[in-house]
Amino acid sequence: MSCAISVLMPVLNGDFAHLREAISSILEQSFKDFEFLIVDDGSNQETKDFLANFAAKDERIVIITNPTNIGVGNSLNKGLESAAGRYVARHDADDVAHPSRLAKQFAYMEAHPDIVLSCTTVNHIDMQGNKIGGYPVSTDSDVLEAELLLNSRLCHPSLMFRTEAIRNNGGYPVTKSAQDYLLYLKSLKAGFKFGGLDEPLVDYRINTESITRKNRGKQLSTAQAGSYEHVTRLVGAIDQQAFERFWFFVATQGQSSLRISDLRILRPLLSYIQQNPAYYKAWKGSFRYVSRNALDLGFSFQKLMVAIYFRYFFNAQY
């Protein structure tokens, strides 16, 4: 049966207290026209029983069971294939949706038919649910696109997208990590527009034991490869090794090395960013912060020259 929204949440075991809070936050939404697709990706029997107990109490919950673990990307695509909603709203098993999240995002998507994917500002919470910060989202589609140049600044559990558009574009890339970022890049390649609601509608739990954090190195490598392909579509051929050093320099906030010669090699990319107002707005502050931070972590002449370069090369005003 069709509905307005399919909420899509993959599950692989996890903390029952967090899982209960995550599920309840969807069931208690002010917006009611949704189905809740929970993809059990080969969880243990206790988790299966836990999910079945919730499903028995609310007919909006649909459990999709993977007999064995097939990974996040495949699980998301399995849920996407089953989705009956005009929109899909992503949700994670340890995060909390604010009561008006679905209503406000649905209204936004309905009012902006040109937008295919939207995200919201999020609160960061710790394992006990205490607020420890937050991350805003831009409301400017051009800036949102520019921000995806080197990595993702969009919180995946706050994502809502048009089901048919993403489904017809092949769904999620099937990789072991960085599925969200690669989906965004795939969407940009298809010409899809992004939108943002600068209102915190999701509490995003910072879990130091999460699979994402345990596989941080693999995730970074996957994202870097996706970013390189995206950058070459924008500015043409570019030296891969120089770009890789630059990408990791930015991603690690100056903890990895960047050569002075790389700046000359990457001048077409850096000039593209400098000359495009949306890209300049998205990256000026990051480049200057990262280069200063690298210098603070340990002085060297090379780091000083890199910091000076970003200080003056990215100093124009728009």
Rounded Cα gap, residues 9 and 28, in angstroms:
16
Residue identified by tokens 């795939």 is 186
Strand partners, 195: 118
Predicted model pTM: 0.95
3-class secondary-structure state, position 139? coil
Which CATH code fits 3-213? 3.90.550.10
107: Cα separation from own chain's centroid: 21
Please give the pLDDT value at position 130. Answer: 95
Please give the pLDDT value at position 318. Answer: 33
Q: List where CATH 3.90.550.10 sits in the chain.
A: 3-213
Q: pLDDT tens string for the chain (318 positions)?
A: 799 999 999 999 989 999 999 999 999 999 999 999 999 999 999 999 999 999 999 999 999 999 999 999 999 999 999 999 999 999 999 999 999 999 999 999 999 999 999 999 999 999 999 999 999 999 999 999 999 999 999 999 999 999 999 999 999 999 989 999 999 999 999 999 999 999 999 999 998 665 555 567 888 999 999 999 999 999 999 999 999 999 999 999 999 999 999 999 999 999 999 999 999 999 999 999 999 999 999 999 999 999 999 999 887 543
Q: Please give the structure tokens belonging to residue 133.
A: 């910060």
Q: Please give the structure tokens belonging to residue 104.
A: 């406000």
The identity of residue 31, as a single letter, is F
Please give the pLDDT value at position 247. Answer: 98
Please give the pLDDT value at position 176. Answer: 86
Q: Spell out the residues 6+ positions from residue 308 whose beta carbon is closer than 8 angstroms to its own.
A: none
**CA distances (Å), 89 to each of 35, 38, 97, 131, in order?**
10, 12, 11, 23
Rounded Cα gap, residues 164 and 87, in angstroms:
8
Q: Please give the structure tokens belonging to residue 229.
A: 């392909």
